[in-house]
Amino acid sequence: AERPPGSAIKPILIYGPGIDSKAITAATVVDDVKQYLLHDKPQQEWPRNVEKRNYGLTTARIGVFKSRNVVATLLLKDYVGLPTALDYLNKLGIDRQNEQYLSIAMGGFNKGMTPLEMAAAFTPFANKGIYTKPMFFTEVKDNSGKTIISVKPERNQVFSEQTVFIMDDILQDVVTKGTAYPEGIIEYKDSEDKKVVIPSAGKTGTTDSDKDKWFCGFTPYYVGVSWYGYDKAVEIQKEEKYNALLIWNAVMNKIHEGLPSVPFFENTPPNIVKRTICIDSGKIATDLCRKDPRGGRVREEYFIEGTEPTYSDTCKVHVEYQACTASQDAQKRHLLATEYCPFETLVLKVGIKRPVEYKPAFPNDPYPADSIYEIPEGEFCTVHDSGLLIPPIVEDYIPIDPTIEEENLPEGVPDGPSSEDIGDPIEQENWDGINWDEGNSNPD
């Protein structure tokens, strides 16, 4: 049966094609804020993250393993483009060229997919970018042993080896810390009772009102796809929500018993470079990125050579500013200091400045989660007498007396409880389906 794939479509429709066409990188950042992209319903929020909240500046990598719908849709709309995405999907054996609408970013196709189609479409991630058309036999012989039918596999290179290397690295995050943790982990005990872990990767998927659950996963040995649901599309109950992953895990654990643990790639492919980037800008990290009050916002990221940020292309999102600890705004951010603020109330802080200011479409729209870390631009101390205002962004500032203790910085905003995709038995991520009108699919 053909069923909508939910977010399981994202690697083969958006992220893989985007990286391969060099339209995006794993470090491409989009602003996950409220969107109103339905032309016929301009006041209806769409798309929406399953958690019913927005997180702000987010890299493509995080968008994958957190299964953020807004990130995927904006990348498809503004970077990859529908024609490119559907062209790659066609090369992967799934022809949906006539479905040119943004809801497919979350699996909202009029015509769904079979588990076999999805398994075949994921094979390039396990086979250095090569797609193999599904086949059920290679040879038929008569009773004398003579070959009467011989079928050769149809193969074509869809993704470059470099793209697959990066995608495998991203999709392993789904298993180790994302929506497929921990059921996506393949392990067994060997003859000496030592644990053997087989590298695995993949993507979860869920559709409207939890009617379909998917996991498309793979190892260096096999690709396996599980779908869980009912013949008549009805909501899957809470106690069943991990069943697609549990089925996948049971089968894959069994067929991998006795196999040695091998990596997806023995060596890094040529033309892959690594850069230390800021996850809020996607640019080369600076010392300020490490001083973010949420903790270091820095990671090592892989790029196809030529798509990496240059060393001079540094993060401009993180900035320093001088604040007065005697005054706060509604988000409890210390306001910018003026020349009338006493020396003992001054503190040097690090915050973020969005490349594009977020302006809510409607008065009651909430700000994204990371807005509490923005510098309070234009908001100056209201406690002390007003006077000549000092610049909000400190470039060549005079260091504050080091004997004064810096204000304790706030803890980071937690992501949970989230409800992306399938699978996190410790309830780190719960299910909360979202309904869409007029057939707009809203998988996780």
pLDDT, position 424: 35
pLDDT at 103 over 50: yes
List pLDDT tens digits, range 327-346: 999 989 999 999 999 999 99
pLDDT, position 409: 35
pLDDT band (50, 70, 90) for residue 444: low
Q: Provide the whole-model pTM.
A: 0.85
pLDDT, position 50: 94
pLDDT at 431 over 70: no
List pLDDT tens digits, range 250-286: 999 999 999 999 999 999 999 999 999 999 999 999 9
Q: Percent of the chain, pLDDT > 70? A: 87
Torsion, CA 126, CA 10, CA 108, CA 101, rounded to 10: -120
User: Picking from 52-61, 129-138, 147-156, 384-393, which range would have the lowest pLDDT averaged per residue?
Assistant: 384-393
Residue 179 and residue 418 in contact, taking contact as beta carbons nearer than 8 Å: no
pLDDT at 394 over 60: no
- Sorted by where each starts, the structural domains of the chain and their CATH numbers stand as 6-135+147-266+419-439 (3.40.710.10)
Residue 315 and residue 296 in contact, taking contact as beta carbons nearer than 8 Å: no
Extended beta strands in 174-222, E state = 186-189, 195-198, 201-206, 212-218
CA gap 232, 3 in Å, rounded: 11
CA gap 404, 401 in Å, rounded: 6
Q: How far is Cα of residue 50 from the mean position of the Cα atoms in its chain?
A: 13
Average pLDDT over the chain, rounded to whole?
89
- Residue 357: partners with Cβ closer than 8 Å, 6 or more residues away: none
pLDDT at 407 over 70: no
Q: What is the CA radius of gyration of the chain?
A: 25
Structure letter (DSSP) for residue 130: E
pLDDT, position 41: 95
pLDDT, position 340: 95
Q: List beta partners, residue 139.
A: 150
pLDDT, position 265: 98
List of long-range contacts for 397-406, beta carbons under 8 Å, 24+ apart: 397/320, 397/322, 397/348, 399/348, 400/322, 400/346, 400/347, 400/348, 401/343, 404/343, 404/344, 404/346, 404/347, 406/347, 406/348
pLDDT at 224 over 70: yes
pLDDT at 422 over 70: no
Torsion angles phi and psi, residue 321, rounded to 5 = -150, 155
pLDDT, position 386: 56
Which candidate, 184, 153, 152, places its Cα nearest to that of 171? 184
pLDDT, position 1: 86
pLDDT at 44 over 60: yes
pLDDT top residue among 118 and 388:
118
Residue 47 and residue 69 in contact, taking contact as beta carbons nearer than 8 Å: yes
pLDDT, position 263: 98
List pLDDT tens digits, range 346-392: 999 999 999 999 999 999 999 999 999 999 999 999 999 754 444 44
pLDDT at 308 over 70: yes
User: Picking from 88-97, 195-204, 415-424, which range would have the lowest pLDDT averaged per residue?
Assistant: 415-424
Pairing status of strand 212-218 against strand 223-229 = antiparallel
